[in-house]
Amino acid sequence: MTKTKKIEQMRFFLSEQMQLFRCPKCHKSFVQVEKNSFKCELGHTFDISRKGSVFFLIGKAPDDYSKNLFDSRRTVIQHGIFDPVIDYLSKKINNSGLVVDAGSGEGSITELLAHKINNQLLGFDISKNGVDLAVSGKTQSNLHYFVGDLSNIPLADHSVRAIINFLSPANYGEFGRILESDGVVYKIIPNANYLVELRHLKYQTNQKHFNYSNENVVNLFKENFASVESKKFSYKVAVKEISSELMAMTPLMWDAELRTDFEIDQITVDLTVLGGKQWTKKKKLKD
């Protein structure tokens, strides 16, 4: 898929699905796609990049995450570390309507999902580096990427059927706003033994972070969404050939002083998928 085709795909998608979006500056509707610009009612414009993404951030994109981090993450995900979880999610969301990957990073998970579902899938991330890499690897016509802030998602109210939030920060207020009345949020969170080999490499038994609990994360999700269901995944993955990339992509290890003689043969993947719906009665959502 060439850059030109990706631009044309985005231009056509915005023209056909204009009602899905709202301006992140004034929250008005979009009214026009003119050449490579997307324009709202009040004339605010957002450019379609040569790579085929749209920059919806107000101000400069943060550069907290490097291209090297995203390259490492792509290598690890393409190795198959999350395949069972991705298969489960794809069955849950297939043919359900518009899906958003909130915090799509470099797009590795988003791309794998797009291969498995028939839905339109939109990836949003605040990192331009991540979105640029995502677009470069995009092969699916049902997939589109945007640089955007999850605290100000440029989508219309109640326009999204399902939201994927995979090991990423969330904004439940915005999730609730864009979600259809019968839509579902799927949040993927680490359990106590997620990458436990790395955690125990960094911390001693008497240190605060030697053990991990997701209790607070689960409770906050349950406060914000109704009919919460959960599915746990726990398995080992051989990672000897990608151990350096695994450590490079894991925030836990960014400031760690590792023993040079340490080699990881396998890693524990221990995750829970939480699925929650809108409350039937109006309830203030927490971020």
The whole-number pLDDT of residue 260 equals 44
State the Cα–Cα distance between residues 99 and 87, nearest whole angstrom. Answer: 15
pLDDT for 204 beyond 80: no
Q: For 166-198, what is each residue's pLDDT tens digit? A: 999 999 999 999 999 999 999 999 999 999 988
103 assigned binding-site residue: no
Q: For 109-131, what is each residue's pLDDT tens digit? A: 999 999 999 999 999 999 999 99
Give the predicted TM-score (pTM) of the model: 0.92
pLDDT for 2 beyond 80: no
41 assigned binding-site residue: no
The whole-number pLDDT of residue 259 equals 46
The whole-number pLDDT of residue 253 equals 64
> Could you tell me the domains of the chain?
1-52 (no CATH), 53-188+213-229+269-277 (3.40.50.150)
145 assigned binding-site residue: no
Enclosing H/E stretch for 78: helix 67-78
Return mean pLDDT, the chain.
89
What is the 3 state secondary structure string of 90-131?
HHHHCCCCCEEEECCCCCHHHHHHHHHCCCCEEEEECCHHHH
107 assigned binding-site residue: yes
Instruction: Give 286's pLDDT tier (boundaries 50, 70, 90).
Output: low
Q: For 78-120, what is each residue's pLDDT tens digit? A: 999 999 999 999 999 998 799 999 999 999 999 999 999 999 9
Average the pLDDT over each of 125-134, 135-144, 166-175, 257-266 and give the range with the smallest value.
Answer: 257-266
State the Cα–Cα distance between residues 86 and 107, nearest whole angstrom. Answer: 13
